[in-house]
Structure 1
Amino acid sequence: MRDRTDLSLSWLPCPEAVSEQLRAELTACWRDVANAGGAVGFAQQLPVTDDVVRAAVDDTVAGLGAGRLLVARRDGELAGWLLLTTNADPVRAHWGRVTRVMTALSARGSGAGRALMTELGRAAREDLGLDRLRLRLEVRGGTGYEAFYARFGWQVIGRWPGALAVTPEDRRDELLMSLTLTEAPGAS
């Protein structure tokens, strides 16, 4: 296992903060994770190409402002990333959505995923004052990902049976997950 102390994390709040080099690194990471069978989209397009993934990266980066990109680096290399999206609507401003989480294949087992999830909880609670997070990911049932998230306090609060067609023959439940960051006043 690699030394966990050489990991650096940085939040990027706007499209201008994402360099062309980082866009290329995000594209390569997302492509590699998808092609390795990760639950990160493109399931019916595998093997996915850089052109297809780059368009998704560009859409993700364009949406920053309503969201913040957290990037993990080890020895200057991209180790992982996630996307946290907040709500401008005052009725929903107390919670955020995590819409992407992935670690580079070369960083698996290095603590990058743990560092991303730990910083996510800290920043959502302390910096943004959020009460709750929800995963707006296609968390595929039957993959064991729910156990990873449970280690950080996430709970499965529901599921959409058969909502995800990984292939035409492979339908999975979409898991609905939530993380309580603070006690919400008057929550029922």
Structure 2
Amino acid sequence: MSLTFTLDPAVTPDLRDGILDLWTDVSNAGGAVGFVPPVTREAIRPELVRHFVGMAEGRSRLLVGHDETGEVSATAFFTFNTHRLMAHWTWLYTVMVHPRHQGKGYGRDLLAAAEQAGRSFDGIEAIRLTCRGGLGLERFYGSCGYKEVGRIPDAIRVAPGDDREDVIMLLPLE
């Protein structure tokens, strides 16, 4: 089986709840998506609302993957630069695949769908993302075509005394 990806789905209560469940489960499984375990849906909800506001304002777009049962199983949010000198590339945030689907190639499928979507955006020449150092994520993104272009030491504090690098990755689309 594979995931079915949709760019810019209608934001419904089911989608909202599905993303909240996904984000909570990924975070509590140790995923590097802006929170550290343990985390609740209610702690994540304000961040999801910020993403939805960005979508409503045209600053962000959502790519969502549903599994064969129709459950939200993967997401990636694109955020466009408003600075005129950086409008030729987009950020990719909150890249997640549900833990129950790990090891099935769905992460690669999500990044391939994100690349395809990125190529459809007018004027976008690259996708940029960051990932938390110390988890091997840069190797995964590298295997999907992203190039490491920088590191910021100790930029991410996951706990007192546990600072990680912020690894900057870029995927040229040309």
Alignment pair present for 1:148 and 2:144: no
Find the counterpart in structure 2 of residue 177 from structure 1.
169
Q: CA RMSD in A?
A: 1.5
Find the counterpart in structure 2 of residue 31 from structure 1.
24
Find the counterpart in structure 2 of residue 95 from structure 1.
89
Gaps of 5+ in 2: none
Asked whether the 8 Å contact 1:161–1:172 carries over to 2, the reply is yes
**Greater CA deviation, 65-74 or 122-131?**
122-131
Find the counterpart in structure 2 of residue 54 from structure 1.
45
* Number of residue equivalences: 171
Gaps of 5+ in 1: 183-188
> What letter corresponds to residue 24 of structure 2 in structure 1?
R
Instruction: Note the alpha carbon deviations across 1:40-78, whole angstroms, 9 max, x for none.
Output: 1122xx311111111211111111121110000111111
Q: Distance in 1 between matches of 2:152 and 2:91?
A: 17
Give secondary structure in 2 for the equivalent of 1:63. Answer: helix
* TM-superposed deviation, 1:126: 3.3
Q: Distance in 2 between matches of 1:63 and 1:126?
A: 19
Alignment pair present for 1:81 and 2:75: yes
Structure 1 residue runs of 4 or more that deviate by more than 3 Å after TM superposition = 126-129
Find the counterpart in structure 2 of residue 185 from structure 1.
none
What is the aligned counterpart of 1:71 among 47, 50, 64?
64
Q: What TM-score does the superposition give when structure 2 sets the normalisation length? A: 0.91
Find the counterpart in structure 2 of residue 8 from structure 1.
4
> What letter corresponds to residue 71 of structure 2 in structure 1?
E
Residues 157-176 of structure 1 aligned to structure 2 (within 5 Å): 157-176=149-168
Q: What TM-score does the superposition give when structure 1 sets the normalisation length? A: 0.85
> What letter corresponds to residue 95 of structure 1 in structure 2?
W
Identity across matched positions, percent: 38
Instruction: Note the alpha carbon deviations across 1:116-171, whole angstroms, 9 max, x for none.
Output: 10011122123434111111x3x111201011111121111111111111110211
Asked whether the 8 Å contact 2:77–2:93 carries over to 1, the reply is yes
Q: Distance in 2 between matches of 1:148 and 1:66?
A: 27
Give secondary structure in 2 for the equivalent of 1:172. Answer: strand
Larger radius of gyration: 1
Q: Distance in 2 between matches of 1:42 and 1:89?
A: 27
Residues 125-140 of structure 1 aligned to structure 2 (within 5 Å): 125-135=119-129, 137=130, 139-140=131-132
Q: Distance in 2 between matches of 1:55 and 1:86?
A: 20
Find the counterpart in structure 2 of residue 18 from structure 1.
11
Give secondary structure in 2 for the equivalent of 1:157. Answer: strand
Q: Distance in 1 between matches of 2:87 and 2:172?
A: 14
Q: Distance in 2 between matches of 1:113 and 1:74?
A: 13
Alignment pair present for 1:105 and 2:99: yes
